[in-house]
Amino acid sequence: MIDMTMDNVDVVVVGAGFGGLRALHALRQQGKKVQVIEASNDVGGVWYHNGYPGARCDVESYDYSYSFSEELEQEWVWSERYATQPEILRYINHVVERFDLRKHIRFQCALERAEYDTKAALWRVHCSDGTQWSTRFLIMAVGQLSTPKSPSYPGLDKYSGQLIYSAQWPKEPVDYTNKRVAIIGTGSSGMQMTPIIAQKAAHLTVFQRTPNYSVPASNAPISAEEDRRVKANYRQRREQAWNSPTGLGFKPGKQSALEVSPEERAQVYEAAWHRLGFGFALTYFDILLNKKANDTAAEFIRNKIASVIEKPELRAKLVPYDHAFAARRPSVDSGYFQAFNRENVELADLRESPILEFTAEGIRTNAKDHKFDIIIFATGFDAFTGSLLKPEILGRNALSLKEKWAAGPVTQLGIGTSGFPNLFVLVGPGSPSLLSNVMVSIEEQSDWLANMIDHVDRLGVKEVEVTEEAERAWVAHVNARAHETLYLTANSYYNGAEVAGKPRVFMPYSGGVRGYRRLLNKCATNGYEGFELRDKPLSLNGQAVNEGAKLTSVGTLDSPLSSVVA
């Protein structure tokens, strides 16, 4: 490998998904010299990699799109309520060309190591293609669902058919027509691809570990009239999304699910079922907060699911029973459960008959030998921290991020962590992230970070670093908010339970995008409270490198953050 030392830049952004691209645009607007490095061949992040049949967003396209340019909003035409993966990828490429972003991105260039040069207050960035950058700021926009889990079944290498990962779907067409196909995993990806593959495969076997809740997408084409109507009031729609708890635009109902009659509740659920998608979870304000309230929604969904499954023995297996509705991420589906009414679709229940091994021809469970031409792993991700902890990141005193986060991620506002000056994370753990319309979170954080970097540049600040007190308070606050909800009652990727050996801590911030934005603003207004801004770097032992260096501003945390949440 050739060592190529590149120019110094102001900011290196790692990742060219929706997040990295948005950060790049915001920083370019501030006149910063930015280099984006991207491990894969092209832009798009998850939308580049997850090209499986049926892949589409489960937040409405009008809301799952950038809001920073009214011209962009007006000119782009979405064809469906929930856009497909190819359409989203076309949109991302359109944005990249329209705002001339591509020239700032280096592809096939994975961050392998970043070390903080304490004396110079610079990050030294080393990449897989031999390139090296020196940069003042390093922004990790590496994604929340960008490291697929790698299954380790015995005999996996013996299998002679086609093995595919839904999160690394091949770029060349996969022909599953008249083939015997297996899908392992029934999260959102498995649920989205099942009805599509079922239509053409000779036989489809779906391996299920945990039956999950799903709400119908009620997907539909967008008419020209609807497009005009949305675009005439787009600002209003955006305001509504920014001010809703999850960034989806749904306001939680004002009533408790327990204070209305069963008849009224049934009517309300019925109406929501047919049009709200994820919004179903907010029909009553306490569905995600109170188990008894949740039971009413869960029961309604179980009945709905059961009502479309024709075979009684399948009904018992497909209906979710072991966790509260939405405590794990529910799906928004288009005909998933109905697919099991087809003669060519079979359910393999992994709780009843676990996989013993892979064979040359397929999969052996303790119930039978399955033969497959194609096996698809839709087994999920090492969420939130998988991609953040893959590269070696060494902060002050060569402290590694892996060591620092050995017991789970610790951050101030999800944005930075002490010991790692000038390193920031986009939509990572400690922020609303996957508990929100991620697009809203990406835009909130990108603009905030670009403003902060511009602000500290003007002040001549060399180092911005989270204080230990601030991150302790933030972690306590994230936990306190999570305890108000039902999220902690289920095993899920929200709390690290999906990966063996991962620390069991709750990672996303459940206080909502509006509350979070208020905290970001309060932090900035109070001189970047919780961050130390230094006009000279600290030395290795924590003293100023040059005599007389002083702090231009010290973050203070007089009151616990929880007290300022609306």
Nearest to ligand FAD of 56, 304 (CB atom): 56
Q: Least distance in Å: CB of 505 to ligand FAD? A: 20
Residue 403: in which H helix or E strand, if any? helix 401-404
Q: Least distance in Å: CB of 192 to ligand FAD? A: 8
Contacts of 185 (CB under 8 A, 6+ apart): 166, 207, 209, 377, 378, 379, 380
Nearest to ligand FAD of 134, 256 (CB atom): 134
Nearest to ligand FAD of 362, 395 (CB atom): 395
If you search the block for the tokens 């063996």, which residue do you land on? 500
As to burial, measured by CB atoms within 10 angstroms (0-12 exposed, 13-18 middle, 19+ buried), residue 384 is buried
Nearest to ligand FAD of 88, 486 (CB atom): 88
Q: Least distance in Å: CB of 99 to ligand FAD? A: 16
Q: Least distance in Å: CB of 169 to ligand FAD? A: 10
Nearest to ligand FAD of 213, 358 (CB atom): 213
Q: Least distance in Å: CB of 294 to ligand FAD? A: 22
Question: What would the DSSP string read from start to end of 25-71?
Answer: HHHHHTT--EEEE-SSSSS-THHHH---TT-B-SS-TTTSS--S-HH
Which residues contact ligand FAD (rule: CB under 6 A)? 14-20, 37-40, 45-46, 50, 55, 57-59, 64, 110-111, 141-146, 189, 387, 390-391, 427, 437-439
Q: Least distance in Å: CB of 191 to ligand FAD? A: 11
CA distance 70 to 72: 5
Q: Are 344 and 179 in contact, with CB atoms under 8 Å apart?
A: no
CA distance 368 to 362: 11
Q: Least distance in Å: CB of 188 to ligand FAD? A: 6
CA distance 145 to 18: 12
Nearest to ligand FAD of 434, 561 (CB atom): 434
**Tokens matching residue 88:** 């989203």
Q: Least distance in Å: CB of 256 to ligand FAD? A: 27
Q: Least distance in Å: CB of 18 to ligand FAD? A: 4
CA distance 308 to 311: 9
Question: Please, how many CA atoms are within 13 Å of residue 184, restricted to the half-sphere of its CB?
Answer: 24
**Three-state SS annotation for 221-247:** ECCHHHHHHHHHCHHHHHHHHHCCCCC
- Give residue 40's Cα distance to chain centre: 18
Nearest to ligand FAD of 317, 402 (CB atom): 402
Q: Least distance in Å: CB of 369 to ligand FAD? A: 31
**Tokens matching residue 416:** 């930075």
Q: Are 232 and 224 in contact, with CB atoms under 8 Å apart?
A: no
Q: Least distance in Å: CB of 241 to ligand FAD? A: 11
Nearest to ligand FAD of 113, 472 (CB atom): 113
Nearest to ligand FAD of 283, 433 (CB atom): 433
Question: What would the DSSP string read from start to end of 527-564?
Answer: TSTTEEEESS-B-TTSSBSSTT--EEEE---SS-GGGG
316 phi, psi to nearest 5 deg? -60, -30
CA distance 155 to 332: 34
Nearest to ligand FAD of 15, 279 (CB atom): 15
Nearest to ligand FAD of 185, 391 (CB atom): 391
Query: What's at 168, amino acid-wise?
Result: Q
